[in-house]
Chains A and B, each alone.
Chain A
């Protein structure tokens, strides 16, 4: 039995696999950033990835929508394997949304144009339809009144919420978050986390890299702890925060809590 399976509750075990990483390895020239990572994310599961800086968390989730190319092992997203196949890449990218630490909004486009860009050009929706949907999404993340502004005119928290709306506009099945609150001032973190909690409650499959332990404890179905490119431990929040098995996990948690 692998460490991944031990942690599966009965409910989760019965669900479909959304993301399956098997033996994923990744090198940056001569530096190996991922060393045979095995992770499975189930449908409607919220998985939080923890680990010290440089442990390969970002690299892992960036491999999942092919911002980085893994070199060994296999990654399946919703049953589609990530290979050099252009068609698979296109399909996976339009099914997986991603939110970045630095928001990465398009500064030359207004908020509404940021949100409608992908539906119009990738999903080939009509402009009107896309805008309706965009307004809806902006309402959902709580900033409908900012639609005509430019990203530079928004606060960090607002920008990150626009970024989430932008990803949601593609109607993804999976959302990846790479430290979405790390670049925010403390008073704005809550507003972004609220939106994420909302999403999780709505049944979105999510993989979240974060250092917000409160969020992890409250929302996560499972946590993954990584160190130097390896998965050290997988488990439920309860397991993690009460009695983690590995010493390395204990050390990390004692530092961060």
Chain B
């Protein structure tokens, strides 16, 4: 029932288990004249549209080998073929963390056997109808496969429904995951994907070497990793609980950057430089900073910390001024580190405490500095990769990577903006309102153009920014405004009494915001934030316009320019539509479930 609209008028789908199919048809399709008319009209529209879509997919010119041959291009663009193991390792790292997280947070799909049965029957019927509507140009293999899929899933669906007549047995996530993995594997091993191989970036027509054959084994390993790590996550989650979840959360912040810049980009470290400059700088900030923080995190040092922080902040800002005027040289990362350090010192009095708290603050700082400096060094080091067409990231990886990091980076910015917008301080409010409304008033594409064209103009000499980084910055600035509005909705739902209770207990503004207000506000905004994540994911397609090689650009201009597939746009575009759809749809479905779960939690 829950997969249908929760309307008072929705038909009772669950009834299909109890009533006979004929009865069900009569009640739901032909109960009255208007109902019958609706059935006829909408069936006609549905079939007509499906036929039209199939006509586009299997038109006379359409050549689907343009997609199956270019799967690798679509996934990872021009990543060097001899280094492809790096891709697999990265995927393994990410999927491992994903499996562990799913287990550690005990994510449950809320999928019942009954629904599986219904979905299978639906898929079976859909395949068979599609088979009937196929245009004449469709390849015979498609016809055969549609029949096979149709019959198999129909039978499976009926069997599943028989096996669980009530249809309300809940399937665990492990089961669902394994099921999906097994299906995927079966497809991988059974269907002969591709007819060409990509050797050193060149298309080679070599019978027998298919793209899929080189990916069967790695994919199998990856799927095993997911399923296994999910189980491990459950077990570890029971034993370690909070600390495992904290570690995983930390991974999700820095892990992907690590994967991209260290594993995928393979920096060629200049070890002499690392030992003479990078490590000393990191050590200085890490250890020196830890000492200062340990000192100011003691109770009663509030005003000292504030004074020290303000001085450090002034100094950090002065470094930037000096950079603009070229007064004295300083490594960029030193400037950034000073700034971060100053902000942390300003914030730390709010989280001061006893000895163990101080140790945790200092230790956390050291760890953060190590990771931060390592990543900065890695990003600033030349890559060892030899890449034929410049951006080393492209295709699906780029789409997902940009979407993920735009969300991640715009989150703190958006939270700050929303806090400023709801603040009582008029200047903050006006500034952030201005920012939010201006950005939300203009289209994304102008912001992206602005950043990719204008940013280089605004930077002083000697500072450069790569195209992709500029686009990323623009996208983040854009997304932050929307993020701010979503969080503001949550902030407004926090009652005034919460602020008052926190004030009455003597919490400082920083403590009140971070311990009381934001946790409640963010929980309320989660559904909207997921909605925004979906929007960000979809709109990464605009990167194609400003020069990135994302899915859309590859499908729309790279593939149709290959000599073998001149002008083959429609199959590629349809394929990426499907990719976008699968991801966006599953995100929106899981957000709906999350929303329902949060409602339950509130009602508790």
Contact = CB atoms under 8 A, between A and B. Distances in A.
A94 interface: yes
A90 B523 contact: no
Contacts of B357: 124, 126
Contact of A150 (B299, B505, B523, B604): B604
Interface stretch (B28-36, B373-381, B496-504, B553-561): B496-504
B503 A124 contact: no
Contacts of A65: 503-504
A66 to B, nearest CB: 8
Interface string A33-67: 00000000000000000000000000000000111
B543 to A, nearest CB: 37
A76 B478 CA distance: 49
Interface string A95-120: 01110101011111000000001101
Given A108-B520, A153-B604, A100 B356 contact: no
12 contacts: A93-B503, A97-B504, A104-B501, A106-B502, A118-B506, A121-B353, A122-B505, A124-B299, A124-B352, A126-B354, A152-B603, A152-B604
B503 to A, nearest CB: 6
B132 interface: no
A244 B519 CA distance: 50
Residue among B500, B505, B515 facing the most chain A CB atoms (10 A cut-off) = B505
A150 B604 CA distance: 9
B56 interface: no
Nearest to B497: A104
B505 A93 contact: yes
Interface residues of B, number: 30
A98 B604 contact: no
B175 interface: no
A166 interface: yes
Given A90-B506, A90-B508, A126-B353, 6 more contacts: A98-B501, A98-B504, A106-B516, A126-B356, A152-B603, A170-B506
Interface in B503-542: 503-508, 511, 515-516, 519-520, 523
Contacts of A106: 498, 501-502, 516, 520
A167 interface: yes
A125 interface: yes
A167 B504 CA distance: 9
Given A108-B519, A108-B523, A152-B602, A122 B506 contact: yes
B113 to A, nearest CB: 32
B351 interface: yes
Interface in B61-77: none
A90 B503 CA distance: 10
B520 A100 contact: no
Contacts of A124: 299-300, 352-354, 357
A100 B498 CA distance: 11
Contacts of A167: 504-505
A121 B507 contact: yes
A97 B508 CA distance: 15
Interface of B: 299-300, 350-354, 356-357, 495, 497-498, 500-508, 511, 515-516, 519-520, 523, 602-604
B604 A94 contact: no
B500 A67 contact: yes
List the 5 closest A-B pairs by CB distance, nearest first: A124-B299, A104-B501, A104-B497, A93-B506, A98-B504
A102 B500 CA distance: 11
A79 B37 CA distance: 83
Contacts of B511: 121-122
Contacts of A153: 604
A66 B499 CA distance: 13
A45 to B, nearest CB: 20
A122 B507 contact: yes
Given A108-B523, A150-B604, A153-B604, A67 B503 contact: yes
B524 to A, nearest CB: 10
Interface string A9-37: 00000000000000000000000000000
A124 to B, nearest CB: 4
A100 B500 contact: yes
A98 B357 CA distance: 28
Contacts of B515: 117, 121
Residue among A67, A96, A150 facing the most chain B CB atoms (10 A cut-off) = A67
Contact of B504 (A67, A120, A123): A67
A90 B511 CA distance: 13
Contacts of B516: 106
A65 to B, nearest CB: 6
A117 B505 contact: yes
Residue among B501, B507, B602 facing the most chain A CB atoms (10 A cut-off) = B501
A98 B502 CA distance: 10
A123 B300 CA distance: 9
Contacts of B519: 108
A96 B505 CA distance: 8
Given A93-B506, A121-B515, A152-B604, A100 B353 contact: no
Nearest to B519: A108
A124 B500 CA distance: 21
A125 B354 contact: yes
Contact of B507 (A67, A118, A126, A152): A118
